[in-house]
Every structure is written in structure tokens, then in C-alpha cells.
Chain A
């Protein structure tokens, strides 16, 4: 290894988890590069190694251009990031409470369906319709989140299992609902909902000064940032946030201290579900204008990675959501400009999460030394 490499390593010595996170992303990009080159069978087969490398350069520069290279690209990134931020907060808050919310997808579907319903049955100005529609999303998601919460508090059923199962239930319930007269668009026979009214759609962020066309990002991002601010206040300043975190870190100590574990479990899942419901609502009002069975996509699952990458902190969740949003929009551009499938983005995300989950590996690769790293067995309990 060259000297500068070791020097870099010692410079990073004792640096925060932020650095580890950055290095994890970097590691993922490096492995991604190897995958791009190795999967370029055609050029490698012809011995055109140089061409394979230039394909890689094209791919990664398209990734950058497609995510931040223009106002339109930036808009795309903002719109992609918005649901990641909100659903990410949902999962992060559950993590902080010691709950693993894998059900953000189902909660988004439940919330989004409620939002859609309010969006097409109501009339009135945007200022009334949008808040009410999103409130419906909040309630829908919260009710759906309450189910695993109550199941865990009452019967001990683990939320990982119940939320996964409830995702299927949500998915098929919405499929059925979209086939009913109440929701289905009159001129369609496939499961697709009526359009929400125009007033219910979230306005473009800079539409009011005429930039709506050049920068078509919708104002869901504003709501997302408000959600993050509220999450910050909740963690840092609120009484309940203190309870949630005490319970999340040490349930026995929380119970010892007189906090009510069962109530915290239910409330934690309700709040997390409500937030995910808002994410679903914003996808409807900001992006689609109607509901389908798949409008939530894999956002609810990606949100788990977002929360992990952001270490469940408010700011970390925002940054990792933006990274995921950027990868999404950049990936599309990459697919257009090269032969590389957008699924590479899924691989990149998976690699990031894998590296995050294995901090020791990242530290070893980048030669970061840290006081907290222990190896092998330690004699915990000696002399006690």
C-alpha cells in the first residue's frame, strides 16, 4: 500500500461514524464499478478493456448528470427524495423506539388510499383540500400501523413478521378497493382510481414565480422537511421522545423507570405508521394524482436502508434519502446513455447497506483505526 494511503488511514483515525458512512458509500461505488466492468462481457470478450473502462466513465458521469446535472435532473432528485425522507423518518422513529418497521409500504398504501379518497370526493380550495387529504393519509397510515403495535403489545407477536404480512394485506386490499365503484375510474376496467381534483395536487415549489416548468419539483419536499423538523423536536425536546428513546435503548430500564412498555409499543407503531401514511399521500398528491396497486413501489423497503444509512438521526435521514433519490434519477439517465440496466442502482443500494451493516469491514478496507473496535472475545465481567 502506498504511504499516502496509510497516512489517509491514520488521518481518519477516530473519526466519526459520518466518515464510516461516507466510506461505505465510496466502497459501494468502487464495487459497483467492478461489477459494471465485469458485466460488460461483450467488450471484455473482445479484449477491449479500455472501452469497458470508458463505458464505466460514461455510466458514472451519467449518474451524476442525471441526478444533479440540470434543474430538471435536480427536480427529479427532489421528487424522488421526498417519499424517501418521510418514509425514512417513519422507519427511523420506529428504530429509535426499538421497533423494526418493515411495514412502511403497507402503511403508505393505506395512507395513500385514504388521501386519494379525500382527494376525489372533496371540493374546495387547495388550502383546505391538501391538508385534509394528507390528514386522511396520516390517519390511514396510523390505523394500519396500530395493528402490529397492538398485536405486539397484546400477544407479543413480533412486528417484523406482522408488518411484512400486513404489506401483503395492504397490497391486496387496495387491489380490491380499486376494483370497487367507489374508487375505480369509470372508463377503466383495470384497478386504477379516479383522479384527485386539481386543487388537491401539490403545487410546484417554484411555480409561484413561474419556474414550474424548468424546476418541476413539487412542494412535498417542504412537507418532508417539516416532518424532519418535527422528528428532530420529538427526539431532542419532547417528553415522549425521551420515553421512546429510553424504551428503544433499554426496555427493561424504561419499565423499571415507570414507563408503560405496551403503550409505548402501540404509540410508536401508530406514529411511525402515520408518518409513512403521509409519505403515501404525498406520492399521490405530488406525483401520480391517482392510486394504483403499486404506487408505493419499493419505497417502504428502501426507507429501511435510508434510516440505517442515516443512523436514524434527522439530518442523516435527510442526507441518505437525498442520496437514494439522486441514485434513482441518475440511474435512469445511466440506463438511457449506456447499456447498463437501472437495476445496478439496486445493487449499489444493497452494497451501501451491506457496508453500513459491516463497519468493521469498512474500517479494515480503509485502514480506519478506532477505539471502539473490539476483536474476538473479551473478558467482560473480569474483576466485577
Chain B
């Protein structure tokens, strides 16, 4: 099968989301679609999957024009989509999830579960997916859940499979397994569209790479013709520094010291398990780990959003184990939170208001019961200029900013004062390449100014590029401390998965 998107144009009031975009993918090949946030990938895929009608242009299946009124039409035409956020029912079995919506039925419409099991088994064997049809989804790791999503798509007879950021939830070894699956899909004649922002992965798996920028296809290339720098340049429109440039750290005195920290979740399960470590001034310590291994809880405890059940946290000379977030803030702790939309910003408020979210109460911005919005406005203009936030008015709502600029607002707010410790969780998640470069340089600058920096990221590349030391978290414990200059990503990946690299003494 050959799928053609021909001159697709889709505009929203004020935005030209897709501008005469043409792409094609055929059976037996992998097309990587790469582009920054807001480049128009989502719109294009919404058009392809029948969610939006294009203003002009058409979709062709094997040369024949096709119109999709809904996702059902797209599925009917042989297009399958594996979403970034899985759509599975946790308390159902693999087989039950897979047949949801296309259930094989027996007498009087009862669910023929034996048949469903059989169907899953067949597809699983054919593509070496190694799935147990009877296992409940909630008992499966994320990598296996993704395979269930793949089986769902295959069962509906997809000829072209679209993956939306499929590797963002996987460990390095799971990513390799995922690539094996993609290969077997291609070998059996499926076409694959792989949407990603990870340049390395696109280069690794794709036959062709299409780059979107501002709604247009700015170029198509292939792994043999391009390298990371070239693709990044195509995405951003200018040369980009992909490697974090930094000198060797000059660590000073201990600023953050954590000892025996233990945190239980509301159900009483241990999520942070007797952790001890220290961060010294002038160094960046990275915490690597697969999502959900206690990093979130660790950071929330360090910043005062969660209470420790045992152990202590010291900042400089002060024991801050039980201090409020505001007190920690006043003692010189900055916190770039994991989820900027949920914690870092009030998107319905203005950029200026968000820039003072953590210090609106200081005498600088308020007197008595009232706020001095004039001063807030002036300070905000200054910060926006210094931290390269792209907006023409600080009184616009924060929701009007792109992801990268929203993150820069948080970085500006948190780093623009005298600090002892900066804690940053997923500092560049969902941020465009240009902004990543900028945010990384700000973090390194903060380190060089003598601040202790603690970084948590599920992007192993980021942790390795930024950190002077890397701690690996697995099931609430720190299972390894490594030097990123001499340890391979593969070995760190094994620690992240809970095993020990061969030939490494404990």
C-alpha cells in the first residue's frame, strides 16, 4: 500500500498549521516525521486520522483519493495509530483490551474470549511480541503495554502504522526491543510513520526522514545523507549546538545533603527507599531512571511538597526536612517542576503574574494587602528580555506561549535570584531544540556561579550531557553512582532496568 498526503493545507484562525504539506509512505519502509512543537505534526496526523478535514489538498490511498470523516474511516482504510498515551483498560486482560470494539462474539452476542485469545496469540507469534493474552494490563510494564497497543492496531488490519513519540516512555533496552518490532513490521510489509523529536532514533530506524517547520515540509533526507546536526538545523532553521558545552566542574562545599530519606505514598508503599546523597556547590548531579521509580516523589520531598517519613534533608547549615516550600524558596532553593502545566504555571494568568508566582509577596512587589502590578510589570519585562522569552507583551496569558517559552518563563523565575540549590525536573520536556540549548546553557551558567544543581530527567541523553555525576534510581533506591564521561548509556540503561552491567563489580 502507498499512502500519499498531497498539498495538505489546514488553517485555524490566525494560524496556518499545515501549508501545502506533501508526504508519502509505502509498505515496507519507515518514514520518520520530525519537527519541533507547533511545527504542525499534530495537525497533520489529525488530518490523516480523520479528526480534521483539510482546507485543501487530499489524501490518496494507492493513488485513489480518500476522504476520512472520522477515525473509523481511517482505520477502515488501513491506517493504524499507536498513541503516546496508551488507551488501555488496566483491569482488563491483554486479550480483552485488544478486541475492545471489534469483539468476536458467540451465541447471543456473548464475548468469545477463546477466539480473542487465539487472535492475540497469532499476531503475537507472527511478530515475536511475546504476549500473554491473559495477563492484566495493570501488571505489565510500559514497554509490554505498548506492544498491546501495537497488536490492537494490527488486529484492525492496519497497513500503515503511525507511532506517536513511541520511545518517550521506554528504557534504553526497551527501545532496542521496540526497534526490533518495527523491523519485523516492515519485513512483513507494513509501512511505518515514526513521529519523534529524538534525532538519534530517527537516524537509527528510518529509511527516510521528513522535517516539518512552521507547517511546511522543509526537507526530506535519509540517514545516509544527514547527521544530527544537519537535521537539527533543518528543524530550527539555524545551526544548533547539540552538545552541552561546559568545563570540568569545580565542586565546592556540600550544599544539599540527604540522608536516609524514606517516603511512603498514601497507600503506604515505599516510593523513596532510604536514600542518601549530597550535592556540592558548583556541580550538576543528575538522577537517571525510568519514569515512576520514585524520582517525582524524591523531588517533591526535597522541595517541600511532600513530607518525608524518615530521614533528613539539609540545605547548607539548616535542617529543612520539615520546612514549607516557601521557606525553602526563601533559603535559596529554586525548583523547576516536572510538569510545567500542572505545577509550574497558572496558564490562565499573565506572563508577568507567572513570573512572580513564587515571590509576589515580597516587599518588592506588594505593600500591605495590595499588589503593585506596575512593579511586577517592569520586573517581568526585564526578565523576559534577559531570558529570551518570545512574547510581545508580558500581560498576555501564559497559555499563549509555546512550550519552550513557557519553560523559559519558569527558568527565568527560578534562576533569576541568588541561589544555593537549583532543583530541575525534566527541564526540557516538550521543549523545542532551540530552547533546550538555551535552558541547558542557563543551567550550566548557574553551576559555574557556584550553585548546587540537581537534575532529574527520564531522557538519559540529557542527564548524561548535563551532569557531572549521575545517580541511577530504581524502585525508590539509588542503585548506582556513575561518571557520565566514562560510563556508556547502555550500562546506565541496564542499571535503570534494575540489572547490573556485566563485568562491573558492585
Contacts and interface: CB of A to CB of B under 8 A. Distances in A.
A246 B35 contact: no
A208 interface: no
Interface in B71-99: 71, 83-85
Interface in A309-330: none
A256 B13 contact: no
A255 B361 contact: no
B203 to A, nearest CB: 17
B270 interface: no
Interface string A352-384: 000000000000000001110000111111111
A384 B165 contact: yes
A258 B348 contact: no
B39 interface: yes
A249 to B, nearest CB: 5
A237 interface: yes
B45 A382 contact: yes
A369 to B, nearest CB: 8
Interface in B161-177: 164-165
B46 A239 contact: no
Contact of A384 (B12, B37, B305, B358): B37
Contact of B42 (A237, A254, A370, A379): A379
A237 B37 contact: no
Nearest to B366: A239
B291 to A, nearest CB: 14
Interface of B is mostly: loop
Interface stretch (B2-10, B322-330, B462-470): B322-330
B430 A384 contact: yes
B201 to A, nearest CB: 14
B346 interface: yes
Given A381-B85, A384-B430, A252 B12 contact: no
A383 B42 contact: yes
Given A252-B342, A257-B358, A381-B84, A242 B353 contact: yes
Interface residues of B, number: 51
B357 A379 contact: no
Contacts of A378: 42, 46, 51
Contacts of B429: 384
A382 B12 contact: no
B127 interface: no
B346 A246 contact: yes
Given A371-B14, A382-B45, A258 B358 contact: yes
Contacts of A258: 324-326, 329, 358
Nearest to B432: A383
Interface in B310-342: 324-326, 329, 335, 337, 342
A379 B49 CA distance: 10
A276 B324 CA distance: 33
B195 interface: yes
A250 interface: yes
Interface residue tally on A, bucketed by range: 20 to 34
B195 A246 contact: no
B362 to A, nearest CB: 11
A259 B344 CA distance: 13
A258 B13 CA distance: 38
A252 B343 contact: yes
Contacts of B373: 237
A122 B110 CA distance: 76
A122 to B, nearest CB: 31
Interface in A238-275: 238-240, 242-243, 245-246, 249-250, 252-260
Nearest to A379: B42
Given A239-B369, A245-B349, A379-B164, A14 B343 contact: no
A237 B197 contact: no
A238 B164 contact: no
Contacts of A377: 51, 71
Contacts of B494: none
For A246, A253, A376, A383, the residue with the greatest tally of chain B CB atoms inside 10 Å of its CB is A383
A250 B346 contact: yes
25 contacts: A239-B366, A249-B346, A249-B348, A250-B342, A250-B343, A250-B347, A253-B343, A256-B325, A256-B343, A260-B324, A369-B13, A371-B12, A377-B71, A378-B46, A379-B83, A381-B84, A382-B84, A383-B37, A383-B41, A383-B195, A383-B197, A384-B197, A384-B403, A384-B429, A384-B430
Given A256-B325, A378-B51, 13 more contacts: A239-B371, A245-B346, A246-B353, A250-B347, A256-B343, A257-B357, A258-B325, A369-B13, A379-B42, A381-B165, A383-B41, A384-B37, A384-B403
Interface of B: 12-14, 35-39, 41-42, 45-46, 49, 51, 71, 83-85, 164-165, 195, 197, 303, 305, 324-326, 329, 335, 337, 342-349, 353, 357-358, 360-361, 366, 369-371, 373, 403, 429-430
The 9 closest A-B pairs by CB, nearest first: A258-B326, A384-B430, A382-B42, A371-B13, A256-B343, A257-B357, A379-B42, A250-B346, A258-B325
